[in-house]
Structure 1
Amino acid sequence: MAWRSHGKTNLELINNLEKNGIIRSARVKQAMASIDRADFISVSPYDDRPQGISCNATISAPHMVWI
């Protein structure tokens, strides 16, 4: 289910991660909701997959949180 947690908004992504059993902590959900993934990724920021951010670096897929 991890790769099926995409959303159209940051909140939808987070809610899908919770619904799919990836996020199991209210503190993690709150932390993820406080920072919009679109601040770091310009294309498809709410896809649940790793993505390049710059300088040959990637941002992990949101489902990698597992908390």
Structure 2
Amino acid sequence: MSKVPDKCPMCGEKAQWKLVDTTNKGFSVGKVAAGAVLLGPLGLVGGALGKKKQCYYCGKCGFNHEY
């Protein structure tokens, strides 16, 4: 995961630069099936894991980005 800046990269605002959402992306049935076939139960668990994404929003300029 890329490093989250401590201020808005567009306007430099610190006070209104906030985390607004956290999601787990990357889950797919294909990854789970492939993991299960290749590595058994451990692969089944690994294939079910996704990439955690955090969405930040600046209340001053409206810039938002997922990290």
TM-score tier, shorter chain, comes to under 0.3
TM-score (norm 1): 0.24
Higher relative strand content: 2
TM-score (norm 2): 0.24
